[in-house]
Amino acid sequence: MSDYVDELDYEERGRVVIVADARTLAEAAAETLIAAVAEAIAERGRAVVALAGGSTPQRMGELLATDEYRGRIDWSRLHVFWGDERWVPLEHPECNAGEAIRTFLDDVDIPAAQVHPYHTHLEPPRAAARQYEEQLREVFGAEALPRFDLIFLGVGDDGHTASLFPGADAINEKHDWVVAYEVQKLSAIRLSLTPPVLNAARRVAFVVGGGGKAHVLHTILDGGLDVDETPAQVVRPANGELVWLVDVAAAELLERRAVEEA
Ligand code: 6PG
């Protein structure tokens, strides 16, 4: 991987891989996806991943659509879900799935039946959450919990991840795999996978870039544990790998980095 800068061991909070900038962050995310998909296909004959919303994964999508990257994934054996979604139609510019479909999934040979957006046309939103659980069951079969090969996540500057926002009941959900609820401060409905599903994954990769995320990343990794205040801290795969792909700007306040450099 080019422009690799540093790697920090945050023990149970994960392994932190620091790269130079936004471009190399997108490359690191794409390489993580390529490796996880290849490994899953070699071991189980198919790969199931969940993508994140937000701006950071969009750059990864742009890379995956290029000739250089497209041929490095066996799209015919890949299933794609999303960690969370906004309550808007697929055609809407803010729709996470729609964005990924337009950016790269439309340009690769992935069977349409293996692309699993939330059904945001179903009313009420809870029905769409139940329907998404059905889609998960269809793909994962009788497994007690869906075990994704890779889940990509982002973090918001308020500490949210997927659509688990500070103070939301969803952070402590133990039973449902998918929730739909109104995020008060956004006055918007969001759908999200819940912690039991996130934490059942074989690998979770946070992708965090830019100086605007430095403070929250420091809180998540160096701060006390308070999942209601900082929901990204709830992500701790029970039997899987947790990696943070971050750029230098986002890593600026990390204490372990400061200690190592001192
Ligand atoms: C969403 C997300 C959300 C996102 C973070 C970071 O749909 O909003 O899933 O959790 O990943 O807000 O977004 P950026 O990568 O744009 O900073």
- 175-186 pLDDT per residue, tens: 999 999 999 999
Mean pLDDT over the full length of the chain: 95
- Which pLDDT belongs to residue 144? 87
Ligand 1 pocket: which of 82, 163, 183 to mutate (most atoms within 8 A of CB): 163
Are 89 and 58 contacting, i.e. CB atoms less than 8 angstroms apart? no
Q: What is the mean pLDDT of residues 60-73?
A: 96
CA distance from start to end of the chain: 26
- pTM recorded for the entire structure: 0.96
Are 99 and 93 contacting, i.e. CB atoms less than 8 angstroms apart? yes
Ligand 1 pocket: which of 85, 160, 164, 185 to mutate (most atoms within 8 A of CB): 160
Residues at CB less than 6 angstroms from ligand 1: 52-56, 84, 96, 154-156, 160-162
- Which pLDDT belongs to residue 143? 75
Pairing mode, if any, of strands 150-153 and 47-51? parallel
User: Looking at the predicted structure, is the pLDDT value of residue 262 above 90?
Assistant: no
Give the span between the Cα atoms of 186 and 150, in whole angstroms. Answer: 28
User: Looking at the predicted structure, is the pLDDT value of residue 259 above 80?
Assistant: no
* Minimum-distance ligand 1 atom for the alpha carbon of 213: 17
| pLDDT band at residue 4 using 50, 70 and 90 as cut-offs | confident
Residues 6+ apart with CB under 8 A from 61: 99, 100, 103, 104, 105
CA of 45 to the centre of ligand 1 (A): 30
| pLDDT band at residue 261 using 50, 70 and 90 as cut-offs | low
Residues 6+ apart with CB under 8 A from 103: 58, 61, 62, 65
Q: Whose CA is nearest to atom 13 of ligand 1?
A: 54
Give the span between the Cα atoms of 28 and 22, in whole angstroms. Answer: 10
- CA torsion 195-178-31-242 (nearest 10°) is 10
CA of 85 to the centre of ligand 1 (A): 10
With tokens 């991987």, the residue in question is 1
CA of 55 to the centre of ligand 1 (A): 7
CA of 166 to the centre of ligand 1 (A): 14
Lowest mean pLDDT segment, chosen from 25-34, 54-63, 164-173, 185-194: 54-63
User: Which two three-digit tokens encode residue 192?
Assistant: 């999200």
Q: What is the mean pLDDT of residues 228-241?
A: 97
Q: What is the mean pLDDT of residues 13-35?
A: 97
CA of 96 to the centre of ligand 1 (A): 9
| pLDDT band at residue 142 using 50, 70 and 90 as cut-offs | confident
Are 50 and 18 contacting, i.e. CB atoms less than 8 angstroms apart? no
